[in-house]
Each structure stands twice: as structure tokens, then as C-alpha cells.
Amino acid sequence: MKVVLAGAGAFGKKHLDGMKNIDGVECVSVVGRDLEPTQAVAKQYGIPHACTDLAEALAEPGVDAAILCTPTQMHAAQAIQCMDAGKHVQVEIPLADSLTDAEAVVAKQRETGLVAMCGHTRRFNPSHQWIHNKIEAGELNIQQLDVQTYFFRRKNMNAAGEPRSWTDHLLWHHAAHTVDLFAYQAGEKIVQVNGIEGPHHPELGIAMDMSIQMKTGSGKICTLSLSFNNDGPLGTFFRYICDNGTYVARYDDLVDGYENAIDVSSVDVSMNGIELQDREFFAAITEGREPNSSVAQVLDCYRVLHDVEQQFGG
């Protein structure tokens, strides 16, 4: 299977690292904003083609699919561009930064029948998979999910600390992870959501602090705190308060409520959530089926984010 990767930044490299471990998959072109650093990434990973135009990459011989790790504002249009070119597409989270654009991507997928998936990685992290398996087996039932998403980011920087050409967003990017995960783990729709935001940064133009509460139909609740002002341990920490135990997930790792480590190494074929996400994308293409985290499955998440934005006066 021949794949194009668009977006050769910190997260694009995570996908390239993951793909190295997947048999039968070859990245044949990498797309970036500036040619010279994009060529450097191509050389580093042994990719034969580099360019600055997604259309050029999609036109390379035999391309089957594309993975988009480009700026949020480009996701929806590029996902549609890939499907219009007849290519399966995985777009990194978020699918879009508006409900209208997210709905347009889903409509295009239904029109083309191609595999279109969004990188809601928390569905694939072994820590969250372990919890999901317990819920599916009837051994756990969530009472409350308490989540902290904390960064120290007062300039446009990426995960590698490099300057970024676009502005990240607590609501449309970072909250999307938890909104989708909560509904996925609860197995229910979110029926109530309340959001408040702090002051907007004078230069970035976005809220640097945010709080979101959610509730499902049966009464499961989620409390989400987000900040770009946190000067401390960075990342997202999920506390599952269940009827039969408390668990804390930190990306691919899991502990119980007393910080005792839980072995999740046998949950899946890898401990790398990004690799597992990519494996699902390629398997869905090969097997001709809808992937976990398809654009249709995650659309409700963007409806909830839209509702929160409306509360903010957006």
C-alpha cells in the first residue's frame, strides 16, 4: 500500500515512525510547507519524493491513501481533496474547526465510499483500550471521567518546541480528544454540555484556560480542565472513577487509584497509540470496512464542540 504523508512536523514524524513497524505499507511522498526541511525529512526516512503541493503528491504513481498532519484549518478541505482524488484518507485530530466543515467531510465520505478516518488517538492508546475492554466485558461502569489537559504554550510552538505557522486551539483540538473518548467509553451520547473560558491571549487570540462539563443520558459525567498556562507536568491525564475501581491513564500508560502500575503490554500488538491508529486505518482499507474512529463515528464530538463554542458566543 502506497501512502502520502502531508505535514512533516512533529506529529507527521510520529506517523512515519509508526509506519516503519507496519508490513506492506510504504510512504512514497511527503508534503510540507517549505521544500528544504521537507526534503530533509524525506531523506531521513528514505521517502523517494518530497514536495509542497498535496495534489502533486496524490498524483504520484500507485498512491492508495493519505495521512494528513497539516494545520487544523486545512484538515477538512484537504480530506475532501484526497477523497475527490480517489484516495483513502486519515486526517489527524481535529477533523475540522467547525461543525459545518466536519459535516462536509462526512458527506464526501458517504458520496465516495472511501475509508475516511480521524486520528482520535485515545481510542487506540493501550491504557484506554484496557478500560474499554473491561467496560465491554461488563466489569466496569464509568461514574465520572475527570480529565486535565495541561500545556505551557504562550507562543505558536509544536510538540517538538519548534515554531508553528498556525495557532493551536484548546476547544477544537485538545477538547476533541476527551469529548470523543468520554462518549466512546460511556457507550452513550452526550446530552448536556456546559463550557466556560478564560480571557483570550492578546496576540494568539484564543482562550488560554477552559473548563467543560458533560453528561450522558444515563447520568455519567465528565469534567475537563484545559490550560495553555500550566507551568508543570505537561500532557493529558484521565482519571476514570468507576463502580469497580479507579484508574488513571497517561497516554499509553495506566495505573490504579493508588498509582500501582497496570500491565497493558498485551492489550494490542504495540504500545504505541499512533502506530495502532495507523494499523487500524490500513486494515480497514485492506478489509473494505469502516474503521474505528471513522469520520462518521466521531461527528457527534464536533456537534458537542459546536455547542460549547456557541456558549462562548462563537
Domains of the chain: 2-120+274-290 (3.40.50.720), 125-267 (3.30.360.10)
How many Å apart are CA 82 and CA 85, to the nearest integer? 5
Give residue-wise pLDDT tens across range 89-119.
Answer: 999 999 999 999 999 999 999 999 999 999 9
Round to whole Å and give the CA distance between 278 and 284.
10
Beta bridge partners of 111: none
Cβ burial, residue 246 (10 Å; 0-12/13-18/19+): middle
Antiparallel, parallel or unpaired: β 209-216 and 190-197: antiparallel
Buried b (16+ CB within 10 A) or exposed e, 27-47: bbbbbbeeeeebbebbeebeb
Name the phi and psi angles at 286, rounded to 5.
Answer: -60, -40
Cell readout for 50 is 518530497
Cell of 165: 505557522
74-84 confidence digits (pLDDT tens): 999 999 999 99
Identify any residues that bridge with 236 across adjacent strands, giving them in sequence order.
149
Beta bridge partners of 309: none
When computed from its CA atoms, the radius of gyration of the chain, rounded to whole angstroms, is: 19
> pLDDT by residue (tens digit) across 53-72?
999 999 999 999 999 999 99
The pLDDT value given to residue 153: 80
pLDDT exceeds cutoff 70 at 252 = yes
Tell me, what's the pLDDT at 269? Answer: 97
Confidence (pLDDT) at 164 = 64
Supply the DSSP string of 30-62, one letter for each residue. Answer: EE-SSHHHHHHHHHHHT-S-EES-HHHHHTSTT
Question: Would the CA dihedral through 114, 42, 7, 207 be positive or negative?
Answer: positive
pLDDT in tens, 125-135: 999 999 999 99
Q: Who's near 256: CB < 8 A, 6+ residues apart?
A: 245, 246, 247, 248, 262
- Render pLDDT for 176-210 as a digit per residue (tens, 0 to 9): 999 999 999 999 999 999 999 999 998 888 899 99
